[in-house]
Amino acid sequence: MVYVRQEKLPNLRQYKYSGVDHSLLSRYVLKPFYTKVVIKCFPMSMAPNLITLTGFSFVIVNMLTLLWYNPTLDQDCPPWVYASWALGLFLYQTFDAVDGTQARRTHQSGPLGELFDHGVDALNTSLECLLFAASQNLGMGWKTVATLFASLLTFYVQTWDEYHTKTLTLGIISGPVEGILILITVYAFTAVKGGGSFWQQSMLRTVGVPKYEFIPNYIYELPFNEWYMVQGSVVLILNTIQSSVNVIKARRAKGDKSRYALVGLIPFAITWTLIPAYLYLNPDILHNHLVPFVFFCGLINAYSVGQIITAHLVKLDFPYYNVLILPLAYGVFDSLGPFLQQNFGFGWPSALGDGGYQVAYMFMMLGAGIGVYGSFVVDVIVTICDYLDIWCLSIKHPWNEEEETKKVKKTS
């Protein structure tokens, strides 16, 4: 499949990165640390995308320890495992932030860097949901699904915002900065407390808040992990509203109708109508095979946002179609028939049943997701590299200041 037509490739040369970061923590603490300390650890010969990929490898190691020590997401791990998650995520954030500085100092900035960076971030989002669920002992259930929904929606909305405003906007509190630092703190504190079971306790009772009569009992008994989800829901709503306002303003400034931009949220809404429906109709997947299904959901989201970023870079229409929802839609249709028969007296028989074939189908969806997203990544990267005459993970044309100065003098 061709994702970028040849006639659209000249738009790549018009690319210019635009980003706004309102985070005070980023401005006064993290950026000075990245630009004055960390960047000196990387040689000028190292490609920015290789830095990004190296940072992602730390998250992969974290996932491997998760699958070994806590594949069911509800068991306490050795304290060093949580500490390694904190360190791995910190290194990922650091490498992910430094790649831009490396691109500027090696004069390798370009559209491929933004696409590569967003693609890795999209994959990391779903993986961190599993790591967070394991750190809280959420287990395989609706709490983990809710965490995944909030994280993927935040990333999708931010990418949708960037497509329409042409600027990556990070608020005073954002996921890539404060959100990741909160997760690092949670992992580190879990290591100190000896396991995720600590977060199952009532937060108000644990911190010493008296049981006043005006506090409902269910609120007083709410554990740490559910308070975290409440806080995440509030931040999610605020970020979604802010991104919607940004898009509406940008559309109106250009004289376009804002409602057409809001239609871009429909693909995510359709996907997240199908996902909980599939899990509700297949409780065995929800409670026993949720981890591979989360991988599949992460690939659906990564494919969607990858298409959006590609459309942003080469000035294509907004992509509303995601082929990966088709096998998911069939899974819902197949499981809906027996459900209707059992509860309403009409329906159709399932071709997959509710046993091993259903599990096999879920793994088939995961395989399809890997194949489709993998082909998308390879095709787009190869197309961009060929057109711009660059390499993805190494520097094909190192910057030479003397030669570039001579070129400028000849053209002037």
User: Would you name the residues annotated as active-site residues?
Assistant: 118
- Residue 148, both tokens: 């995944």
Note the helical H segments in 38-108.
48-69, 79-105
Total Cβ atoms within 10 A of residue 307:
21
Q: Nearest 5 degrees, angle CA 72-CA 184-CA 207?
A: 85
In whole angstroms, what is the distance from residue 58 CA to residue 214 CA?
46
Other CB atoms within 10 A of residue 367 CB: 12
Distance of CA 322 to the CA centre of its chain: 17
Phi, psi of 223 (to 5 degrees): -75, 170
Dihedral pair phi/psi, residue 321, rounded to 5° = -110, 135
- Which of 107, 104, 121, 92 shows the shortest CA–CA distance to 35? 104
Residue 21 β-bridge partners:
170
